[in-house]
Chain A
Amino acid sequence: MRDRAANPRRHLTPDEVETFALGLPARPRAARAHLGECAECHREVESLRALDEALSGLAHPAPSPRFAEQVMARVSLRAPWYARAWTVTRERWVPLAAASLALAATTSLMALWLTSQPELSLMSLSGLVVQQIRDFSLQVVMAIGSLLWSSSALRSVIEASERIGMEGAILLLSALSLVTISAAGAMMRLMQPAPLRLRHAA
């Protein structure tokens, strides 16, 4: 701008021509004054304005109608697991809460029963598995033990398991395992995102 102040007769620079032709905000007064007097610069501005109008007026060719669908068929958006879990929890909290409750209840019952059966660790076939389950279960029991102990629920479970015997206990354990697996399966299915309906693209 100092140049223009020093030499007001200097022709507009390409940037200045563009500023006037495209109606951009920064249009300095000195350059405007020159434009009012200079036929050559005025012609340049008008020529660029006409070119811009011609170019910006051209239509955008459209892709085929199935374009969006074809793109989306190839796109695999992956959110972080915590974001997916949060979205699903917000959208399907009722069935998810029910499944979680069932899972927690059966796990707790299994844990309580296992802790009441120390002789299970001697079973040759499933001894190792049971031992691992017991270790894990002990941790769960530690967390909820004090609460249940106060209501003497644990003692009731131990007494009940002593009454039903080993065969009954194994049957009960199998049933509880089935419920646990089903609840876990239900939770996994619920975590899947809803299928995309491409009619939103229309």
Chain B
Amino acid sequence: MDYREKSDPELVELCKRADERSAVELLRRFERPVFSLIYRMVRDRELAEDLAQEAFVRAFNNLGRYDPSYKFSSWLFKVAYNLTIDHLRKKRLDTVSIHGSPSAVTAELQAATAITVESTEERPDDALQSREIGSEIEIAIGELRQEYRSAIILRHMEGRSYEEIAEIMDVPLGTVKTYIHRARKELQGQLQHLLE
């Protein structure tokens, strides 16, 4: 049986019947995209690897809860995204972002919830990791607000539809559009010299 020729839903069905080789094939297909998303969100290779590992383990061990009417990849990204966001929230519990509340989607709401108590300057080791990931574009992505960053990665690097991104990030469709629109504007501003 050649697992590489099987579709994602077929592999998931086999996985549900405890066929471990199908799980390995799903891992082979999605380890890079899932790891990349998490790595770009947390910007720490070891932590990204731990979180990606946990995401896959949770996904495989909870396949019974997976609703086959959704794409498996979207569900997997959702597990990975939630795990990473939870981790980042715990890490930042004692700090307040100068960007305001993550749920604030309008400029007014952001301004109303914004408090200037810490610098968003990248720490030297973070900057080093950005360079490790790649280019000036990676650094620009790293400077985006967390929600914008996740949305733009899912849209332009993973080719996810707006509906899928809304499902993964558990936000309304309009919010996804806002995130992506703003992320694009920020990136276009920062990378103008490269994009022309």
Contact = CB atoms under 8 A, between A and B. Distances in A.
Interface string A35-54: 00000000000011011101
Give the interface centre of A55, A67, A72 by most chain B CB atoms within 10 Å: A55
Contacts of B124: none
Interface stretch (A111-119, A132-140, A156-164, A192-200): A192-200
A71 B134 contact: no
A151 interface: no
Nearest to A56: B156
Nearest to B33: A60
Interface string A62-88: 111001101110111111100110010
Contact of A68 (B28, B187, B191): B28
Nearest to A44: B188
A165 interface: no
Interface stretch (B19-27, B73-81, B94-102): B19-27
Contact of B181 (A14, A52, A75): A14
Given A51-B184, A62-B35, A63-B49, A75 B18 contact: no
A70 B52 CA distance: 11
Nearest to A78: B18
A196 B141 CA distance: 39
B138 interface: yes
B115 interface: no
A76 B64 CA distance: 12
B107 interface: no
A195 B54 CA distance: 22
B134 A58 contact: yes
B143 interface: no
B56 interface: yes
B31 A63 contact: yes
Contacts of B25: 200
**Interface SS, A side:** helix
A77 B15 contact: yes
Contacts of A76: 61
A201 interface: yes
A201 B28 contact: yes
Contacts of B191: 51, 54
A67 B156 contact: no
A130 to B, nearest CB: 40
Interface in B154-169: 156-157, 159
B54 to A, nearest CB: 9
Interface string B32-66: 11011001000001001100110011001101000
Interface of A: 14-15, 47-48, 50-52, 54-56, 58-64, 67-68, 70-72, 74-80, 83-84, 87, 193, 196, 198, 200-201
Given A55-B152, A68-B24, A77-B19, 18 more contacts: A47-B195, A51-B184, A51-B187, A58-B138, A60-B32, A60-B36, A61-B133, A71-B53, A71-B57, A74-B53, A75-B61, A77-B15, A77-B20, A78-B18, A79-B16, A80-B17, A193-B20, A200-B3
30 contacts: A14-B177, A47-B195, A50-B196, A51-B184, A54-B137, A54-B195, A55-B152, A56-B159, A58-B134, A58-B157, A60-B35, A60-B157, A61-B32, A62-B35, A67-B35, A67-B53, A70-B53, A71-B57, A72-B24, A74-B53, A74-B57, A75-B20, A75-B60, A77-B15, A78-B18, A79-B17, A83-B16, A87-B17, A196-B20, A201-B24
